Structure 1
């Protein structure tokens, strides 16, 4: 059915719960509304991921995007083994293993997490267990090592198995040279969470920016773990500064092959809506009054057609201005 196809193909983390409820409600639901409708939605998402089809997008310099198990996964092949950026959801291990084997017979030797969220790091455990060196920001390790609540999802995440917790962490920057690529990892500061990093494949001019960029849809901002609307804008500015018109930009969600012009449009959307919501808040409008004023209206036709709907995105922005 259409809703299952959209869920498995785009894997929009636990916010996908609105998709899971689409057929029953004939409309989009915010995450909190969906949680009011059903229990065990993490299991629903895992069930969908377990049946997902992994789509392969070959880029250049032996870099490939695997789409379909949570966030967009980048894979770099070569004699040093496979290098992954993000791990997807663990129940899709079979499909991910098949997709990786189709790329190369080499094992996964390195895994870099762009941040801690379930749809990007749940696969850490099995990849770590088969020998992948897991690298992340220090805050990502913290959240994966403890019970972590996300208020907007009304959910408590348990710690990952020890094999999935990153053992190699950094605070600001890190670099590797693997498979002929200079990999530069940079911390943004608080953005989607307070543990987000970018990963630049230098010679290929390809950058994975994680969930600081959702291509063509309103993004989620996780205030429970340090997210910030201003930080999201700042991360977009940093990614624009790090890219050129020839750079391939990999977003955390949405169409996985993007570019600087599309990222600029995303950044400009964030800035405009932030200003609209901030103006309403300065006028003394309550959150519900700000939502009713429809500060996202000029952007909804393009950006508001998936799980983070205009009202929910307005509430997220309101919380941060």
Structure 2
């Protein structure tokens, strides 16, 4: 059983993001200011004040939960290792949370993929003394201006030099730190083409990045290699990798387990199949949205990055 934690993080933190004005972008560093008719400026604003809570898992692994991607923290004699770096404007609260664990420096950062809510803190974490490790496609996307559509509708400028991963890999990578062996594995294109999992085998903990969203519709980044079928394929890979005792850290949402991975896969398959059938009948996107093929899940699953209409549009794009 997992330890109790104060996880009073709103699952609706981003619902108002689309209506925010250009003023929200003022909270972001200048190199990240771009279009404002998207959820991105609102995410910067939300992350600046969102509470970051700590949940202890097993052995010397904890998780930080806030407005952006979930951060895993491994402590030990070699200093802190962190998996993902949140939205850049979350820095004050993330720094405070990390310091409350212990005073050890951050020595290693792993990015599960390239998106701003997982790599936004790269530069300041690197300045604090950490080296950055990621898949080669994460470095590729961070190294140049990259447009993402959907309800992102944003061109992310090239990241600063200090935010670029210094070590990259293609398929698999093994890391030894803090008397722990970590195994990193690249997924076939799923949420993006840069997704990796981070497995802590001794603790039996798997960080999936955004290949798993616990009871939230995922954003699927078709603009950098993602697809609905790839997202489902990654879900299948995650299910095959874990046991009923494995703790699973999603990219977003509460810590879960194998049953939650199966539910995520089943929800995606159900909606994908219904949308595909309607599209095959010649239905246009507005007609498919009006048919509400995700209705049975919407009240619980449609409250974070993707409302039901946005998610149906992403699925429709890929079937």
TM-score range normalised by the length of the shorter chain: 0.7 to 0.9
2:15 pairs with 1:18: yes
Q: Distance in 2 between matches of 1:204 and 1:260?
A: 15
Q: Could you tell me whether the CA contact under 8 Å between 1:277 and 1:317 is conserved in 2?
A: yes
Q: Show the counterpart of 1:120.
A: 118
Q: Distance in 2 between matches of 1:168 and 1:124?
A: 13
Q: Distance in 1 between matches of 2:11 and 2:138?
A: 20
For the residue of structure 1 that corresponds to 2:129, the secondary structure is coil
Which one of 45, 48, 51 corresponds to residue 46 of structure 2?
48
Q: Show the counterpart of 2:265.
A: 267
Q: Show the counterpart of 1:320.
A: 318
Deviation at 1:194, TM superposition (A): 0.7
With 201-210 and 276-285 compared, the bigger mean Cα shift is at 276-285
Which one of 99, 107, 112 corresponds to residue 109 of structure 1?
107
More helix by share: 1
Correspondence list, 1:1-321, <5 A: 9=9, 17-20=14-17, 39=37, 42-152=40-150, 153-255=152-254, 257-321=255-319
Deviation at 1:312, TM superposition (A): 1.3
Q: Could you tell me whether the CA contact under 8 Å between 2:184 and 2:198 is conserved in 1?
A: yes
Q: Distance in 2 between matches of 1:181 and 1:284?
A: 53
Give the number of aligned pairs: 298
Deviation at 1:69, TM superposition (A): 4.4
Q: Show the counterpart of 1:27.
A: none
For the residue of structure 2 that corresponds to 1:166, the secondary structure is coil
For the residue of structure 2 that corresponds to 1:273, the secondary structure is helix
Q: TM-score, normalised by structure 1?
A: 0.87
Q: 1:141 to 1:267 in 2, by over 3 A?
A: same
Deviation at 1:302, TM superposition (A): 2.9
Q: Distance in 2 between matches of 1:224 and 1:66?
A: 28
CA distances 1:47-104 after superposition (whole Å, capped 9, x unpaired): 3222222100110111111111411100000001100000012222222222111112
Q: Could you tell me whether the CA contact under 8 Å between 2:174 and 2:182 is conserved in 1?
A: yes
Q: Distance in 2 between matches of 1:57 and 1:9?
A: 12
Structure 1 alignment gaps of length 5 or more: 1-7, 25-37
Q: Distance in 2 between matches of 1:51 and 1:135?
A: 28
For the residue of structure 1 that corresponds to 2:109, the secondary structure is strand
With 305-314 and 165-174 compared, the bigger mean Cα shift is at 305-314
Q: 1:318 to 1:17 in 2, by over 3 A?
A: same
CA RMSD of superposed structures (Å): 2.2
CA distances 1:283-313 after superposition (whole Å, capped 9, x unpaired): 1212222212211123223322444122111
Deviation at 1:17, TM superposition (A): 4.8
Q: Could you tell me whether the CA contact under 8 Å between 1:236 and 1:267 is conserved in 2?
A: yes
Q: Could you tell me whether the CA contact under 8 Å between 2:113 and 2:138 is conserved in 1?
A: yes
Q: Show the counterpart of 2:32.
A: none
CA distances 1:165-210 after superposition (whole Å, capped 9, x unpaired): 0011111111111112211111111111110000000100000001
